[in-house]
Amino acid sequence: MSTAAQVLAVAIALMLGVVFVMESFLYRHPRLYPMFLTKPGDFDAVRLWTVNMGWYNLTTAVALVAGVILVRTDHLPQGEALIIFTAAQHTFMAVVLVVSQPKLWFNAALEGVPAVILLALAFN
């Protein structure tokens, strides 16, 4: 697996780590209302899904980092499988996001474009 793919995998993992913090701990912050399409009256109703999605994103970030570590420690097939699966998963989830809520096209692009590029690098 190319160095570029590994670097992008780690960059995506870092981005997912930031998203984890936003979704799990900062979802009540006014600057995030547009990103999550929420308002103060929604907090109790959305807490369960924001926290759950935050932890989902953290475990996905861990999978990407684990994949890179496996690749770099001569466990290439296992590492590539983790990285490719995770990139494919995020590509799919970006499509689901934009289809289910077109207003969130930018969020979907932030999730999907790096994942598609990572897939292209992984299969190149």
Which pLDDT tens digit goes with each residue over 83-100? Answer: 999 999 999 999 999 999
Closest by CA to 111, choosing from 92, 85, 90, is: 90
The confidence score (pLDDT) of residue 49 equals 83
Residues of the chain with pLDDT under 50: none
Q: What is the residue whose two structure tokens read 């913090």? A: 21
Count, residues in the chain: 124
Q: How many domains does the chain have?
A: 1
What percent of the chain has pLDDT above 90? 73
The C-alpha atoms of residue 81 and residue 59 are separated, in whole angstroms, by 16
Mean pLDDT of the chain: 92
- Work out the number of other CB atoms within 10 angstroms of the CB of residue 48: 9
The C-alpha atoms of residue 61 and residue 119 are separated, in whole angstroms, by 16
- Domain boundaries, position 72: 3-123
